[in-house]
Amino acid sequence: MSWKKLLAARKIHTHHSSKQELDELRAVVRRDLADAALPALSEDRRFATAYNAALQVARMATACSGYRVAAVPGHHALSFECAALALGKQADRLVLFFDGCRRKRNVIDYTGVQIATSTEAAELLQHTREFSALVESWIQNSHPHLS
């Protein structure tokens, strides 16, 4: 899907981002990455917290591109789809991974316990760190005024 089609479907809105907005999202990402690394948390909480960090990173990419995701059903999946639109093919592998994590996070937050394993939580944390570094590099190169 393209930005134009997403706008026409009212799944996204135009948005003017600022360095302050991105810095606030960066603070959330840093907090969530630190919390997701705490061994005292359950695997489910570590997984869900790392997932939230990834979601905020996706929001950063979308905001830098001049959009924000509307509050519509499926907005998490859409957030990662928009990040892929912004970043291009370099993000495809991570975005696909996060889509699978989205489903598991939904079960964790709404219907189940002891869903994520320690390995899954660690893998998600590592991929989220990688995604964050990718987006920050992209911002620095494509939108340096927001770095």
Is pLDDT above 90 for 138?
yes
pLDDT tens by residue, 68-88? 999 999 999 999 999 999 999
Q: What pTM was estimated for this model as a whole? A: 0.94
Can you tell me the mean pLDDT for 95-110? 90
Can you tell me the mean pLDDT for 1-15? 94
Inter-residue contact 49 to 41 (CB < 8 Å): yes
pLDDT for 147: 87
Q: Which of 90, 88, 82 is nearest to 60 (CA)?
A: 82
Domains delineated in the chain: 3-140 (1.20.120)
Beta-carbon contacts of 14 under 8 Å, excluding residues fewer than 6 positions away, are: 7, 66, 67
Is pLDDT above 90 for 109?
no
